[in-house]
């Protein structure tokens, strides 16, 4: 992270990093996502209230598996610590799945709109959204409202199966802030602040849109009460070549890339209300 990148994150509420994962790594992520039946077995349907349905798989533990090696790799953890100004720990990860022509939309929301309810006093939290498939406007790429993190937390309520931001305030924000469609190639990554308003449209294309999100909290923001997401524990970061090393071992063994059995909190359970992107 350069000083300019850190300044851009604090100005806009997000930072897009092209090719954070190289072509070989992007191919590993895509192949692993499609090959591992655990994702299919543990995905949950979330209706968008517009006739579409998205799938979500969520887990808390960054374990000794391929997806844990992504969440703990130095390029993500070091970047998050530069952006948030403190030691970070893994809050949770999730795979957001929009299948061709049926993948549902996500309404405008802030992640802190519901993480606030988990006992986190400050919005000193962020996510990194990693494109597993090409993300385009046709298949429902992420949209962000530039600078909206400066609004503070917006009230959220239930809409269909989803938790979304107050529509009246969102409409007012849309009138004065720029909506950015974040089109991404596999391996691109978007770091965004927990108060940044974001949404995505339905996938009306013939192409899937799978995207991996790794979410982090800061040590000083350790929740004051227990919730379905973890409290602070030191994160053992891995070298950046861990993904390639892990994939070589797992592909060779024909093993699962993600083992939900090791995560007793969320891994195999239904996601709590308000876990979209």
Q: What's the pLDDT at 266?
A: 45
Q: What's the pLDDT at 277?
A: 57
Q: What's the pLDDT at 263?
A: 58
Q: How many domains does the chain divide into? A: 1
Residue 153 included in any domain = yes
List the one residue out of 99, 50, 111 whose CA is nearest residue 208: 99
Q: Which residues of the chain have pLDDT under 50?
A: 254-255, 258, 264-270, 272-274
Alpha carbon 67 to its chain centroid, in Å, reads 13
Residue 276 included in any domain = no
Helix, strand, coil % in the chain, rounded to nearest 5: 30, 25, 40
Residue 38 included in any domain = yes
Residue 24 included in any domain = yes
Q: What's the pLDDT at 205?
A: 97
Token pair 């039946």 is found at 37
Q: What's the pLDDT at 162?
A: 65
- Output the pTM of the full model: 0.91
How is the beta sheet containing 125-131 ordered, strand by strand? Answer: 14-17, 189-193, 125-131, 209-218, 88-98, 53-59, 44-47
Q: What's the pLDDT at 159?
A: 59
- Say which CATH number the domain at 16 has: 2.60.120.620
Separation between Cα atoms, residue 239 and residue 145, nearest integer Å = 33
Residue 267 included in any domain = no
Contact 183, 135 (CB under 8 A): yes
Separation between Cα atoms, residue 83 and residue 92, nearest integer Å = 18
How wide is the angle at C-alpha 77 spanned by C-alphas 143 and 230, nearest 5°?
Answer: 85
Q: What's the pLDDT at 49?
A: 78
Residue 114 included in any domain = yes
Residue range(s) defining the domain that contains residue 63: 3-262
Residue 273 included in any domain = no
Q: What's the pLDDT at 83?
A: 98
Residue 151 included in any domain = yes
């Amino acid at each position: 992270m350069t000083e300019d990148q850190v300044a851009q994150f604090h100005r806009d509420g997000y930072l897009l990093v092209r090719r954070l994962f190289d072509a070989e790594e992007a191919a590993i992520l895509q192949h692993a996502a499609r090959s591992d039946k655990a994702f299919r077995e543990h995905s949950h349907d979330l209706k968008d209230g517009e006739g579409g349905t998205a799938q979500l798989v969520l887990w808390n533990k960054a374990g000794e598996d391929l997806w844990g090696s992504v969440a703990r790799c130095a390029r993500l953890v070091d970047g998050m610590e530069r952006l948030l100004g403190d030691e970070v720990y893994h809050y949770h990860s999730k795979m957001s799945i929009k299948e061709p022509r049926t993948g549902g939309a996500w309404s405008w929301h802030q992640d802190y709109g519901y993480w606030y309810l988990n006992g986190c006093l400050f919005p000193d939290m962020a996510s990194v959204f990693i494109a597993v498939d090409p993300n385009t406007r046709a298949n429902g790429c992420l949209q962000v409202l530039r600078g909206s993190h400066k609004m503070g937390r917006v009230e959220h309520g239930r809409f269909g199966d989803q938790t979304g931001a107050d529509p009246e305030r969102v409409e007012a924000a849309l009138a004065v802030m720029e909506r950015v469609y974040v089109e991404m190639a596999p391996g691109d990554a978007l770091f965004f602040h927990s108060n940044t308003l974001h949404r995505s449209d339905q996938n009306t294309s013939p192409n899937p849109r799978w995207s991996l999100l790794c979410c982090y909290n800061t040590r000083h923001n350790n929740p004051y009460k227990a919730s379905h997401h973890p409290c602070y524990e030191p994160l053992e970061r891995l070298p950046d070549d861990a993904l390639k090393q892990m994939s070589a071992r797992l592909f060779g063994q024909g093993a699962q890339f993600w083992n939900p059995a090791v995560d007793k909190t969320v891994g195999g359970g239904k996601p709590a209300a308000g876990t979209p992107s």
